[in-house]
Amino acid sequence: MTLQKTLFNRTFTLLCIVLILTSSILLFLLYQRYQVTSARRAEVYVIFLASQCVNPVLLEDRLQLKSLFQATKDKEVAAYVWLEHNNSVLVHTFPQGMPKGLLELRPPGSIGVLTVRWQDQHKQVFRDISVPLPAPAGGILHMGISQNQVEKTFTTLLPVTGGIILLSLAFGAALSWRMSAVITQEIKSANQALEASELKYQTLAENTYDWEFWNGPAGEAIYNSPSCERIIGYSVTELAADPDLCSKIIHPDDQQIFNQHRHTATQKHQQEELELRVTSKNGEVRWISHRCRPVFDKQGAYLGTRGSNTDITQRKELEHEISHMAFYDALTDLPNRRLLMDRLQQALVVSARNGQSGAVLFIDLDNFKKLNDRHGHDMGDLLLQQVAQRLLETVREADTVARLGGDEFVIILAGMGTEPQQAIAQTTLVGEKIIAALNEKYQLNRFDYFCSPSIGATIFNGRHTTASDLFKQADSAMYQAKAAGRNRLRFWR
């Protein structure tokens, strides 16, 4: 049964019950009123007649008695009026249409009893209401009222009462139908507006590029837009089946920041946004921009969070690429001069804090120009790439290997000891290891090639000098190595 039919049935039934009860009560009250009133009227007029018959002469005046009776008859309460004196009927009269020759039905030995019943030839019974007359008239004045009069009056009222009931029922039905029609129309309009709103929201949500979501207070999935499958590979059904799936796909390195965000998101009434990585269903790591806002009702109760996730993987890759281009050498993928200067500044700060010395090695390849002139820049670029790889394999992961440009490389060594001599000894070992590695044969496509380096070194401890001065010192030491015959290490003095 539809809501409209239910509302109609309930409203109609309620109105019918109310109308029937009201009509029944009204009918009962009317019956009681007419019954009591009719009897009361008879008594009143008997008393009235008795008060008029105070003169014995008047009792024999049938004309006056008839006049009194006529007044009673006009009130439609009396069927007869007669006077009894010393057990004799002195005068009596009957209403028009009442047959003569009535039988007096008085029980034996009822002399002095002021109750008499009369009936006509049609067995219609009349109730006698008797009132003793005051002196000097004496006697008893009787007035009869038909027992059927009340029922007749009531019967006369039945069509009117029935009509009232029928009109009430018809009015109630019409009112119920009208109310039902209005309610049905309002419900229909509300449903249409709701359907339009839902269709609009569904169209926007299901066709948006972002992953729209709504989670409940316990983190359960209330709604996820279909675009979630394009971003993470998991469908709406899978997200609804596993409430913890959204937490499981967060990259391990971003779990802490996500947990902190999820804790604070319920405490603030503002939108939170963060960028983090997720692992898709096929194992691919993707970046998303996660935005959410807590939802509260009017009483301030927390209802969950609503928000969206945007796939920013391409943007992050582009940012990484731009950053890489800004801080790394395009040929060897080593840090360039800009990143090298930043790393050296950090090394100076760390050295000042822990007292450990460091070193800067300035490396230049011997006779590199001849290779470019004889075999072209392609062979020179290939040699530089192999040199960069050998330098990375020679030093520690904490050390920095950078390319300044051309055939010039710089290495920053950290943690070389607290004493200057210890730092020099450690740097010398690293320098000799680098020379040995770079002197090994290179395979440049069509031929073998041998190359040697000239290395200049300088030691630093703390922030007693600047990065620029260290570069100059190492560069000067490198030229000393070349002047000493190349393929060797020299410290700045």
Q: Answer yes or no: is pLDDT of 85 > 70.
A: no
Within a domain: 103: no
Please name the amino acid found at residue 164.
I
**Catalytic residue, candidates 311, 407, 469, 475:** 407
pLDDT of residue 44: 55
One domain, residues 367 and 312: no
Q: How confident is the model at residue 79 (pLDDT cuts 50, 70, 90)?
A: low
CA atoms within 13 A on the CB side of 475: 8
Q: Tell me the β-bridge partners of 316.
A: none
Q: Do 234 and 281 form a contact (C-beta atoms < 8 A)?
A: yes
**pLDDT tens by residue, 370-429:** 998 888 899 999 999 999 999 999 999 999 999 998 999 999 999 888 888 999 999 999
Structural domain ending residue among the three candidates 274, 289, 317: 317
Q: Answer yes or no: is pLDDT of 453 > 90.
A: yes
The reply to whether omega before 453 is within 30° of 0 (cis) is no
pLDDT of residue 217: 81
Please name the amino acid found at residue 468.
S
Q: Answer yes or no: is pLDDT of 55 > 80.
A: no
Q: Do 91 and 65 form a contact (C-beta atoms < 8 A)?
A: yes
Q: How confident is the model at residue 231 (pLDDT cuts 50, 70, 90)?
A: confident
One domain, residues 229 and 340: no
Within a domain: 109: no
- Supply the CATH number for residue 256's domain: 3.30.450.20
For 319-343, give one letter per residue: b (16+ CB within 10 A) or e: eeeeeeeebbbeebebbbbebbbeb
pLDDT of residue 177: 67
Q: Tell me the β-bridge partners of 454.
A: 364
Nearest to 145 by CA among 36, 301, 59: 36
**pLDDT tens by residue, 263-302:** 666 665 666 788 899 999 998 999 999 888 888 888 878 8
Sign of CA dihedral 257, 262, 263, 267: positive
Residue 99: Cβ-neighbour burial (10 angstroms; 0-12, 13-18, 19+)? exposed
Q: Do 350 and 421 form a contact (C-beta atoms < 8 A)?
A: no
Task: Provide mean pLDDT across the span 88-117.
Answer: 45
DSSP secondary-structure letter at 250?
B
Nearest to 142 by CA among 38, 39, 45: 45
Q: What distance in Å separates the CA atoms of residue 81 and residue 50, rounded to the nearest whole number?
A: 11
Q: How confident is the model at residue 56 (pLDDT cuts 50, 70, 90)?
A: very low
Task: Provide mean pLDDT across the span 25-42.
Answer: 57
Q: Answer yes or no: is pLDDT of 59 > 60.
A: no
Q: What distance in Å separates the CA atoms of residue 240 and residue 421, rounded to the nearest whole number?
A: 66
Least confident of 66-70, 102-106, 153-157, 232-236: 102-106
pLDDT of residue 100: 37
Q: Do 310 and 210 form a contact (C-beta atoms < 8 A)?
A: yes
pLDDT of residue 257: 86
Highest mean pLDDT among 111-120, 260-269, 476-485: 476-485
pLDDT of residue 103: 37
pLDDT of residue 99: 39
Task: Provide mean pLDDT across the span 164-192.
Answer: 65
One domain, residues 189 and 216: no
Q: Active-site residue 407, yes or no?
A: yes
Instruction: Output 111 or 147, whichever has higher pLDDT.
Output: 147
CA distances from 449 to 382, 443, 446 (A): 11, 6, 10
Q: Answer yes or no: is pLDDT of 169 > 80.
A: no
Q: Give the whole-number percent of the chain exceeding pLDDT 70.
A: 57
Task: Count CB-CB contacts under 10 A for residue 302.
Answer: 13
Domain that includes residue 18, residue range: 1-96+114-207
Q: Do 281 and 268 form a contact (C-beta atoms < 8 A)?
A: no
Within a domain: 377: yes
Q: Answer yes or no: is pLDDT of 95 > 80.
A: no
One domain, residues 445 and 484: yes
pLDDT of residue 472: 93
One domain, residues 291 and 188: no
One domain, residues 287 and 348: no
Strands 453-460 and 489-491: parallel
Within a domain: 102: no
CA distances from 221 to 17, 225, 272, 303, 481 (A): 48, 11, 19, 12, 69
3-state secondary structure of 415: coil
Q: Tell me the β-bridge partners of 311.
A: 288
Within a domain: 141: yes
Q: What distance in Å separates the CA atoms of residue 216 and residue 223, rounded to the nearest whole number?
A: 9
Q: Round the average pLDDT of the chain to a whole number and report it.
A: 76
One domain, residues 312 and 342: no
End-to-end Cα distance, the chain: 101
Within a domain: 108: no
Structural domain ending residue among the three candidates 285, 317, 349: 317
Q: Do 153 and 34 form a contact (C-beta atoms < 8 A)?
A: yes
Nearest to 361 by CA among 418, 450, 426, 417: 426
One domain, residues 187 and 268: no
Within a domain: 168: yes
Highest mean pLDDT among 237-251, 402-416, 457-471: 402-416
- Supply the CATH number for residue 453's domain: 3.30.70.270
Q: Answer yes or no: is pLDDT of 150 > 50.
A: no
DSSP secondary-structure letter at 302?
E
Q: What distance in Å separates the CA atoms of residue 149 and residue 156, rounded to the nearest whole number?
A: 10
Structural domain ending residue among the three candidates 207, 242, 272: 207
One domain, residues 444 and 466: yes
Strands 442-444 and 447-449: antiparallel
How many domains is the chain built from?
Answer: 3
One domain, residues 238 and 201: no
Within a domain: 107: no
One domain, residues 402 and 457: yes
Helix, strand, coil distribution of the chain in percent, nearest 5 = 50, 25, 25
One domain, residues 184 and 223: no
pLDDT of residue 424: 93
